[in-house]
Amino acid sequence: MFSYPFMQNAYMAGTLIAIISGIMGVFVIARNMSFLTHTLSEIGFAGAAFGIFMGWQALNGMLLFTTISSIGVGELGAKSSRRENSITAISALAIGLGILFLSLANSNASYATGILFGSVIGISRQNVIQMSLLSAGVLICLLVIYRFLKFDSFDPIGARVEGLWTRTLSVIFLVLLAFSVSVAAQIVGSLLIFILLTLPAAAAKYFVHSVGAMAGLAVVFALLGVWLGLYLSYVTNWPVSFFISVIEVICYFSALMYNRVRS
């Protein structure tokens, strides 16, 4: 399996995606941003389609759209009652735009499915290098703001009382999330990216009780999904995103059951 360059690339990219998604997921869950993450992935679809329309790499279009909208959504997000409806509206617009750009770009249906559902063979060595750089950037930023982000995500009231720069933190986090969505969408596709950014962390929180341990276990769950998913996809020739979603859903429901039995 590893004699094929595309499988080597897929495993390298998948590993990066699992690490980033697992760690970011812990904060996505703590900040109740699962729905927003899903919307960012749809915005990513529109961005990728725009990239193809413009003759760019899909990843660059994704980065452009998700980064701009993450800052915009952060501003909208000030009032949570307004947030849900705004996110739904933006989500609808993003899918509409994605379809338009794909149609204008005259690209065939396989392009669309590639963006929406991900692909193993589509990853080149150059993609891997670009994803490595982006992942390293996200990880370094996370390391720098980790203690602040942890406080603000797991105790926003306490963080506000202690005078933390919570607004700026929120925007930085959303931009990091936009980058993570764009990177991760390369393998699992934009429709299923929220699986890796939410389920591993949501499962981890039932087993361990510190932020560091949750991040570690979430990375393990994400790696399990991606590595096993890639292998099963190679063997069966079925879509990798199908296997990843099944494995992550099994992890999550097992965690729920464990929690029920424990309590």
Binding residues for another protein, rule: CB under 8 A, are 143-144, 146-148, 150-151, 154-159, 161-162, 164, 205-206, 208-212, 214, 263
Confirm if 243 and 130 have CB atoms less than 8 A apart. Answer: no
As a whole number of angstroms, the distance between CA 7 and CA 101 comes to 30
Residue nearer to another protein on the CB measure, 154 or 231: 154
What are the C-alpha distances in Å from 52 to residues 2, 46, 106, 178, 184? Answer: 30, 10, 10, 19, 18
Give the long-range contacts of residues 66-69, CB within 8 A, separation 24 or more: 66/40, 66/178, 66/179, 66/181, 66/182, 67/175, 67/178, 67/179, 69/40, 69/43, 69/94, 69/178
Q: Could you tell me the smallest distance in angstroms from the CB atom of residue 31 to another protein?
A: 11
Residue nearer to another protein on the CB measure, 151 or 234: 151
Residue nearer to another protein on the CB measure, 65 or 173: 173
Residue nearer to another protein on the CB measure, 111 or 146: 146
Q: Could you tell me the smallest distance in angstroms from the CB atom of residue 172 to another protein?
A: 13
Residue nearer to another protein on the CB measure, 38 or 205: 205
Q: Could you tell me the smallest distance in angstroms from the CB atom of residue 262 to another protein?
A: 10
- Sort 132 into a burial class: Cβ within 10 Å, 0-12 / 13-18 / 19+: middle
Q: Could you tell me the smallest distance in angstroms from the CB atom of residue 160 to another protein?
A: 8
Q: Could you tell me the smallest distance in angstroms from the CB atom of residue 147 to another protein?
A: 5
